[in-house]
Amino acid sequence: MVGVLFRVYDDGMGIHFSTATMKFLRGLKRNNDRVWFGERKDIYERAVKAPMVALVGEVNEALAVFAPEHVRPPQKAMLRIYRDVRFSSDKRPYKIHQAAWWGREGMAKTSGAGFYLSVNAERVVVAAGLFMPDAEQLLAVRRMLLQRHQAFRAAVKAATKRGAMTASDGQPLTRAPKGFPAEHAAVDLIKQRRWGVSVDLPAEAALEPGLVREVVRRFRLAAAMVEMLNAPVTKKRRPLFGLD
């Protein structure tokens, strides 16, 4: 099966998606219901899920070099296309994108900093950072920033080098959180509730043989920032590529 995936989705320059992928995702956006999806589940498996599984495998090979704690089995890294509608007024059953999240080993899927990729019919999103911190990590990161804000700014600068990605606004609070000084040099960072970088690429990027290369290039630039965001909780520090 693996050999088949690589013959179909790798033309010698790297894994990528196909026009069939985009056709399916466009159709899903228009027909987000179980009957439509069920009748085309085999297309989803072949044109969307299979190439993403193969892509995750290639990204893992690169992460093993510069962020080995984030290597995840493809089936673990891939996020389900099924929406959790239990507590939502929006009852559409499916997401209209296929995504993967490379979280840090030992951390839950939605906590901790990591690397993200999603593909839909309109764009490819490449991102890295800490987007859903629990209360413990939120406090730990803010305390870290009191001491290491200059190193963190350098890591963000590296991640956004030459327009590779853009820093998130961080959904900032209107004032410094309780217990933190309002006049501190890092107050702009401390007020944030999430820290990350991202870029939207055109949907056509998903069809290019160089897709993995473009994703990995951005993940590599953001690796120091991701490590800094996880360090206060993991207490396992690695060299930050000269940004310390």
The whole-number pLDDT of residue 111 equals: 82
Nearest to 51 by CA among 80, 16, 75: 16
Q: pLDDT tens digits, residue range 187-240?
A: 999 999 999 999 999 999 999 999 999 999 999 999 999 999 999 998 644 444
Q: How far is CA 119 from CA 16, 88, 134, 203, in A?
A: 11, 23, 26, 7
User: Is the confidence at residue 165, as pLDDT, over 90?
Assistant: yes
β-pair partners for 127? 116, 198
The whole-number pLDDT of residue 3 equals: 43
Q: pLDDT tens digits, residue range 45-54?
A: 999 999 999 9
Q: Where are the alpha helices (DSSP H) in the chain?
A: 2-9, 19-30, 34-39, 41-44, 50-66, 74-77, 135-159, 187-190, 211-234
- Sketch out the chain's domains with CATH numbers: 2-234 (3.30.930.20)
